[in-house]
Amino acid sequence: MKAPTLSSWFGRGEIAAPPDIASATLRSDRFRLERESEWRRLEAIVAQMERGGLRRIADEDLLALPTLYRTAASSLAVARETSLDAATLAYLEGLVQRAWFQVYGPPRGFAAWLRGFLLGGWSRAVRAIWLDICIALFVMVAGSVVGWLLVAQDEAWYYRLVSGNFLDTRVPGASREELLQSLATEESAAGLSTFAAQLFSNNSAVCIFAFALGFAFGIPSLMLLVHNMAVLGAMLWLFNGQGLTLELAAWLSVHGTTEIFGILLSGAAGLHIGRSMAFPGSRPVLAAASEAGQRGAVVMVGVVIMMIIAALLEAFPRQLVDGTGARFLIGGMMLTFWLAYFFLYRPARQQPGDGT
């Protein structure tokens, strides 16, 4: 063994001598030595791609990558049938696997995916889960009706449903003036953006919960939807008792159309996964779960965006815009926009697998 030299520590050492093919007695070794330089070239390209220097790789290397990969794959297939050299086979298998990861890696960068997502991928995913959206909508309406009926029957239910985080004036027995006051606007915009940030993280937590719990066959997602809508039903009953239903609806609709739509979509996505796992049809359960999960993930990225928008709407216009008519206008516009974006916007698909 040679003494280690400084250059071999910091540099690549000396260039390996070209293999002496004729001196190999075995045909399989001659086969390997003939192809060794191509394999080493493929290994160098793959190692550089793994290090992340895609822009620094020479053009002819990138163009040669698919060919080198296929020749390595065919060499592996031949070597498996003709060679018993375990070290070479192990090396080839590792090399082909690494090259396979590079050649069949994620097809586009994140930015290109995001563009495809916003320009049609999201809408397509939402339309694909239409049945689950209908089921979730039915459950949500039922939940709010249940909340209303429960509180109408027994006021103690109000305290059980609505958590104490809300302002203390909004309780059964409050006067009309107090309730109207709670719907009034803020004086200024100071502090509203932190409020928005807190709302956003709270809302998105509920949505991610509803989606992720779909894993348990969708039942917890439905329960979460019912609970959230029961709170809404309870509050509607409270304001209805003083004849302020319309004002409350306007106040809520500014951000509520976006936020409730987002919760609906996330519950539907969770339910989609749950239903696919419970009724996979002719596919294996795991394959059904992964298809549903990928569709659901696309919807969920959109839901997070909707939650950001809802939080901004909740913090700023809701607190600054006064008047039932103006609030209904904003709420109605947002609802129309979302419905049109999801169900009417159908651009021609640009590339296969574009965002869905």
Partner 1 sequence: MNAATLPGQAAGKRGRVILTPEGLALPVTLASRGSRAGALILDVMILLSGMIAFQLLVSWIAGGLLEDAKLDPSGAPRGAQEFLMIVLVIVYFAAWYGYFLVQELGPRGATLGKRMVGIRIAARSGGSLSPEAVIARNLLRDIELFYPIVLILTLLVLNAGDEDIGPLPLVAAGWFALFLLLPFFNRDALRAGDIVAGTWVVERPCTKLAEALSTQGAAAAQGASAVTGARYEFGEAELSVYGEKELQTLEKMLRDAPPEALASVHATICRKIGWNPGEGDERAFLEAFYAQLRAKLEGDMRFGKRKADKFS
Q: Which of 7, 97, 169, 351 binds partner 1 (CB under 8 A)?
A: 97
Number of residues that bind partner 1 (CB under 8 A): 83
65, 103 Cβ separation under 8 angstroms:
yes
Between 15 and 86, whose beta carbon lies closer to partner 1?
A: 86
Residue 224, Cβ density class (10 Å: 0-12 exposed, 13-18 middle, ≥19 buried): buried
Q: Which of 54, 63, 167, 180 binds partner 1 (CB under 8 A)?
A: 54
Identify which range of 34-42, 173-181, 234-242, 323-331 contacts partner 1 by CB under 8 A.
Answer: 34-42
Identify which range of 72-80, 165-173, 222-230, 324-332 contacts partner 1 by CB under 8 A.
Answer: 72-80
Between 50 and 154, whose beta carbon lies closer to partner 1?
A: 50
- Cβ atoms < 10 Å from Cβ of 291: 16
Tokens of 43: 């290994």
Q: Is 205 a residue that touches partner 1 (CB under 8 A)?
A: yes
| Angle formed by the axes of helices 324-339 and 245-278, nearest 10° | 20
Q: Is 231 a residue that touches partner 1 (CB under 8 A)?
A: no
82, 119 Cβ separation under 8 angstroms:
no
Q: Is 49 a residue that touches partner 1 (CB under 8 A)?
A: yes
Q: Is 348 a residue that touches partner 1 (CB under 8 A)?
A: no
Q: How far is the CB of 289 from partner 1 (least distance, A)?
A: 5
Binding to partner 1, residues 296-335 (CB under 8 A)? 296-298, 300-301
Between 13 and 191, whose beta carbon lies closer to partner 1?
A: 191
Residue among 111, 128, 127, 113 nearest 350 (CA):
113
DSSP state of 343: I
Q: How far is CA 18 from the centre of its chain?
A: 51
Residue 118, Cβ density class (10 Å: 0-12 exposed, 13-18 middle, ≥19 buried): middle
Q: Which of 18, 52, 173, 325 binds partner 1 (CB under 8 A)?
A: 52
Q: Is 275 a residue that touches partner 1 (CB under 8 A)?
A: no
Q: Is 283 a residue that touches partner 1 (CB under 8 A)?
A: no
Identify which range of 85-93, 126-134, 238-246, 254-262 contacts partner 1 by CB under 8 A.
Answer: 85-93
Q: Is 93 a residue that touches partner 1 (CB under 8 A)?
A: yes
Integer CA distances (angstroms), 112 to 19, 108, 132, 290, 355, in order? 44, 6, 29, 23, 9
Identify which range of 137-145, 247-255, 287-295, 343-351 contacts partner 1 by CB under 8 A.
Answer: 287-295
Q: Which of 293, 306, 310, 315 binds partner 1 (CB under 8 A)?
A: 293
Integer CA distances (angstroms), 86 to 77, 89, 90, 254, in order? 14, 5, 6, 68
Q: How far is the CB of 336 from partner 1 (least distance, A)?
A: 28
